[in-house]
Amino acid sequence: MNYKALEKLNFVDKQLTKLAEQHGYQKIFPKSIDNYAGFKEDYKASNLTPFKLIDREGEINILHEDPTISLFQAELKTDKLFYLTKVFSWDSKYKENLKGGLEILGSESDISDVEIIVLSYKFLESLGVENFYVEIGHSDYIQELLTMAGMEKPLMQKINDQIHKKNSGMIRKYLKELSIDENLKQQIADIPKMFGSIDEVVQRLETNCIEGKKISEVKRKLKTMVQLFKKYDLELSKIKIDFSLTNKYSYYNGIIFKAYTNNYGKKLLQGGRYTLNKNQKEINGVGFGFNLREILGGIKMNGRKMRDYTIMVSNANVEQSIVLAEKLRKMGYTVKKMEDKLNFELIQRIKSDYILEVDKKMVKVIDSIRDQVFKKDIINYVDDVRRNKMMESIH
Partner 1 sequence: MSLKIAISKGRVLKAFVKRIENVGYSFDQLNSRKLMISSRDEKIQLITVKSLDVPLYVKNGYADLGIVGSDVIDEYSDVFYEIYDLNMSKCDLCIAGKTDLTLEEKGYLKIATKYPKQGRDYLKDKKIEGEVIKLNGSVELGPLLGISDCILDIVETGNTLKENNLIVKEVYKSISSRIIANKIFYKTKNKEITEFLEKIDKVFGGMTNE
Q: Applying CB under 8 A, which residues contact partner 1? A: 135, 164-170, 172-173, 192-193, 195, 240, 242, 246, 248, 260-267
Nearer to partner 1 by C-beta: 164 or 364? 164
Rounded least distance, CB 246 to partner 1, Å: 6
CB of 194 to partner 1, least distance (A): 12
Helix (H) or strand (E) holding 245: none
DSSP 282-320: EEEEEEEEEEHHHHHHHHHHHSPP--EEEEE--TTTHHH
As measured in angstroms, the least distance from the Cβ of 178 to partner 1 is 17
Handedness of CA 36, 39, 41, 42 (dihedral sign): negative
Which CB atom, from 71 or from 292, has the smaller least distance to partner 1?
A: 292
CB of 170 to partner 1, least distance (A): 6
Instruction: Output the CA–CA distances (angstroms, integers) from residue 141 to 197, 210, 288, in the order listed.
Output: 17, 11, 21
Strand order in the sheet with 60-63: 33-35, 60-63, 51-54
- Amino acid type, 216: S
Nearer Cβ to partner 1 (24/169): 169
Nearest to partner 1 of 90, 374 (CB atom): 90
Between residues 84 and 189, which has the closer beta carbon with respect to partner 1?
189
Q: CB of 134: closest distance to partner 1 in angstroms?
A: 12
CB–CB of 213/144 below 8 Å? yes
Q: What is the DSSP letter of 25?
A: -
**Which of residues 126 and 167 has its CB atom nearest to partner 1 in the complex?**
167
Closest contact distance (angstroms) between CB of 157 and partner 1 is 12
Q: At what angle do helices 168-176 and 182-189 cross, to 10 degrees?
A: 150
C-alpha closest to that of 43 among 199, 249, 184, 339? 249
Residue 63 forms beta bridges with which residues?
Answer: 33, 51
Give me the least distance between CB of 153 and partner 1, in Å please.
Answer: 15
The answer to whether 102 and 287 are in contact (CB under 8 A) is yes
Q: Residue 260 Cβ, how far from partner 1 at the closest point, in Å?
A: 5
Alpha helices, H only, 168-264 = 168-176, 182-189, 198-207, 213-231
Rank residues 260 and 381 by Cβ distance to partner 1 and give the closer one: 260
Q: Which is nearer to partner 1, 164 or 386 (CB)?
A: 164
E strand or H helix that includes residue 11? helix 3-22
DSSP alpha helix (H) spans, 85-197: 110-126, 139-148, 153-164, 168-176, 182-189
**Which is closer to partner 1, CB of 190 or CB of 217?**
190
For residues 332 and 327, give the distance between their C-alpha atoms in angstroms, rounded to a whole number. Answer: 9
CB of 237 vs partner 1, minimal distance in Å: 13
